[in-house]
Amino acid sequence: MKRRRSLFIHLSHIRLLAQKFALVILFLSAFVLMLVNKTDTILIEKTSSVATDVVTPMIDVLVIPAKILAQVYDYFHDLKQVREDNLKLKEENRQLNLLYERARALEIENKLLSGLLNFVVPPEAEYVTARVVAEEGDAFSHSLIAYIGNKDVTRGQIAISDKGVVGRVDKVSNVYAKILLITDINSRIPVMVEKTRVRGIVAGDNTMFPKLVFTPLGAELNVGDRVVTSGVSGVFPAGLPVGKVVGVSKYEIKIKPFTNLEELEYVKLVSYNLDDMFSAEEQGKEDE
């Protein structure tokens, strides 16, 4: 009996001691939990920072091909735009060259006609654009074959490029026209030096540099002088650019055509209706 009572008293002391320290234990547990939670947050932040430092360069490396593809696309897109702009500029330059040549001729004509009254403006020219399909260049002839289709082209019409006179129509078939170039040995074009108004004839000799012949003795000619049609004989109207003087010697004067005749792809076959004008004049003389 004594033993049981002693055991009961001992358990009561343990229970009382546990009750006394229960609150302390709770506080300690709460503190430990808070410490663990804080430690986990720092660990998570450190882990996240390390992961960011490691993954970010990898992402940058993976993005490089996409950036390169984007740059390549932009390059070819810009290249295409540059090509289109270049074609537009070439066409504008061609038009400006035509306007420039016409302006030069008009300026000189204006100086000559400034003292005249009642000047009548000549009629507008009619032309057909034809594609060059063949060349005939040998020791005996310099000519081109151009496709004209069903266009109205007649013998004697002038062939010009965007830079100047090329030749004239020599023969016409159903859909083709033969163009006698100004370098052909049978070609003769009445011309004059644009600056000094000295007249002569550009005569082909089957070379790339025809001669200027029948110029007055003592005529002032210099390398670089521009040569244009004079309008004499009624075949070519006045003021069309032909070429420039590239050689002056005692025996001959060489002319270089403005147009590179070896690279022609298209020509304009122009009719100034001069034949109709001269036919009308002749008819009028006959009626008198």
Residue 23 domain-assigned (yes or no): no
Q: Which residues pair with 283 in a beta bridge?
A: none
Give the span between the Cα atoms of 277 and 224, in whole angstroms.
34
Distance, in Å, from the CA atom of 181 to the CA atom of 141, rounded to the nearest integer, reads: 9
pLDDT given for residue 169 in this prediction: 94
Q: Are residues 132 and 87 in the same domain?
A: no
pLDDT score at 86: 84
Angle at 33 between CA 31 and CA 39, to 5 degrees: 100
218 and 260 co-located in one domain: yes
In this structure, the answer to whether residues 135 and 218 fall within a common structural domain is yes
Residue 213 in any domain: the answer is: yes
Q: How many domains does the chain have?
A: 2
**121 burial via Cβ count (<10 Å: 0-12, 13-18, 19+):** exposed
Asked if residue 72 is part of any domain, the answer here is: yes
Residue that terminates a domain, selected from 95, 118, 141: 118
pLDDT, tens digit only, all 288 positions of the chain: 444 455 445 555 656 655 555 556 666 666 655 655 555 555 555 555 655 665 566 666 666 776 777 777 777 778 888 888 888 888 888 777 777 777 777 776 666 565 555 545 555 678 889 999 998 766 677 899 999 998 889 998 999 988 889 999 999 988 999 999 999 999 999 999 988 889 999 999 999 999 999 998 888 899 999 999 988 876 788 888 999 999 998 889 999 999 999 888 999 998 876 655 444 444 444 454
Q: Are residues 139 and 93 in the same domain?
A: no
Task: Give residue 277's pLDDT.
Answer: 45
Q: Indicate whether 104 and 201 sit together in one domain.
A: no
Give the per-residue pLDDT at 278.
Answer: 42
Query: pLDDT value at position 181?
Result: 95
Residue 87 φ then ψ, to 5°: -65, -40
CATH code for the domain in which residue 254 is found: 2.40.10.350
Is the entire prediction scored with pTM above 0.75?
no
**pLDDT for the residue numbered 48:** 55
Domain that holds residue 88: 30-118
In whole angstroms, give the CA distance from residue 280 to residue 222.
Answer: 40
pLDDT reported for residue 124? 66
Domain membership flag for residue 12: no
Secondary structure string (H, E, C) spanning 179-212 = EEECCCCCCEEEEEECCCCCEEEEECCCCCCCEE
Last-in-domain residue among 83, 118, 153: 118
| 257 CB neighbour count, 10 Å cutoff | 25
Domain shared by 102 and 134, yes or no: no
